[in-house]
Structure 1
Amino acid sequence: MNEARAAVKPTGLAAFLGRVTGVAFVIAKIHKHREKTALVERQRDDVAQGRLEAPLSQAGKN
């Protein structure tokens, strides 16, 4: 996923304006949140299919 983002990452004036206006910061936060959400979903699917044991923080919540 990061390689795909790096391939379309703005350069030059667009990159500068993104940093100055704060758009780059917001986009980075959105990407981080989506990646975290996707990881949690993948772990839930793996636990549900028996490929992974429940994490300790989730063990008592069944």
Structure 2
Amino acid sequence: MEGLGEVWPVRSTISGINLGDVWLHYGLNTNNLGDEYIPFHKLSQCLTYSLLEPLQELG
């Protein structure tokens, strides 16, 4: 989360912490801070997989 959070510079934050790959779902809104966010890992997963092979080749 900390390493990929900056990939989405204009994303939601809580207490100044970039939440990265999450999206609001207003149907989940409760009194608990953060409950209305849903993780959407596909973007992070695709990014990670696309970087693995080039990084392995570089050592």
Alignment TM class, shorter chain as reference: 0.3 to 0.5
State the TM-score, normalized to the length of structure 2. Answer: 0.37
Q: TM-score, normalising length from structure 1?
A: 0.36
Structure with more helix by fraction: 1
Q: Greater strand share, 1 or 2?
A: 2
Q: Which has the larger radius of gyration?
A: 1
